[in-house]
Amino acid sequence: MIAGADIKKLPSYEQPPLTEVACSVLFNSIEGLLSPYLGLLWQRFQPEYPFCDDAAPIDPRIEVFGEQVIEPMVELTNIPQLPRVWLINNDGTRIIQIQRDRFVHNWRKNSPESEYPRYGNLIKGFQEHLSNFDAFLAEVELGKIQPLQYELTYVNQIPRGDAWSTIEDIGKVFPDFAWKANPQRFLSHPQNISWTTVFELPDKLGRLRASVKYAVLNNHPNLVFELTVRGIGSYTSREALQNWFDIGHEWIVCAFADLTDEEIQTKIWKRRG
């Protein structure tokens, strides 16, 4: 077992470029979770989540190590596919996502005034909502979730401006990915860019995927920096769930600090610690 880091000792930022955080648990598909149950389930989360929407289900993607094989258990039935249901809070910053084999809770920044509530608050909310989901499944006699994999994702949007001006400046933000700009080279001015790097956590707890891509969002160029930790290791019980997320959070925070420029962290994102 690996103990998570002390959150107070991890780097933090007064003005992080963070725009979304998602906590997710994948489990064996609950085939008995039919659409009529979703209305009843929604009632449990109201009035905090008064709005709803539908989305396509997320396909399972399991991290495999060595000869280990883990596959979601889905029975072949005539039951039609259930959509992924979004339950949305009043200001649109928090979403609960539910499908037959996945439960997600995420925060998103949907306006300049949306303040990141910090990891401690997010994981607390995730645990509370997941427990509420557990209680509902027991109440309607649909069984218990059996975790197959956890996932923690942080999405950062770094707009063109103080930190960078052109794609060739990517090395100013991400020193490991520097573009060697030279007007004499054959490929001198990239129009787009997309990089992904994968790191393995100890004891087969999972993998960290760090990706950087260029994207135009709301008519403004951005570098989108996404950090995702996915896995489960030996933390298969519900009681151990938060321990795994604490470790995943530590890896994401330290990876962010490791992969971005220290001066930008200090001057633009106002790093503390």
DSSP string, 141-162: T-----EEEEEEEEEEEEESSS
Output the pLDDT for position 67.
58
Mean per-residue pLDDT, 33-60: 93
Which pLDDT does position 76 carry in this prediction? 43
Give the per-residue pLDDT at 4: 47
At residue 47, does pLDDT exceed 60? Answer: yes
Going by pLDDT thresholds of 50, 70 and 90, the confidence category of residue 180 is: confident
What would the pLDDT profile of 10-32 be if each residue is shown by its tens digit? 999 999 999 999 999 999 999 99
Residue-wise pLDDT for 123-178, tens only, equals: 999 999 999 999 999 999 999 998 999 999 999 999 999 899 999 999 999 999 98
pLDDT above 80: residue 87: yes
User: Which pLDDT belongs to residue 206?
Assistant: 97
Residues 37-70 as b or e (16 or more Cβ within 10 Å = b)? bbeebbeebeeebeebeeeeeeebeebeeeeeee
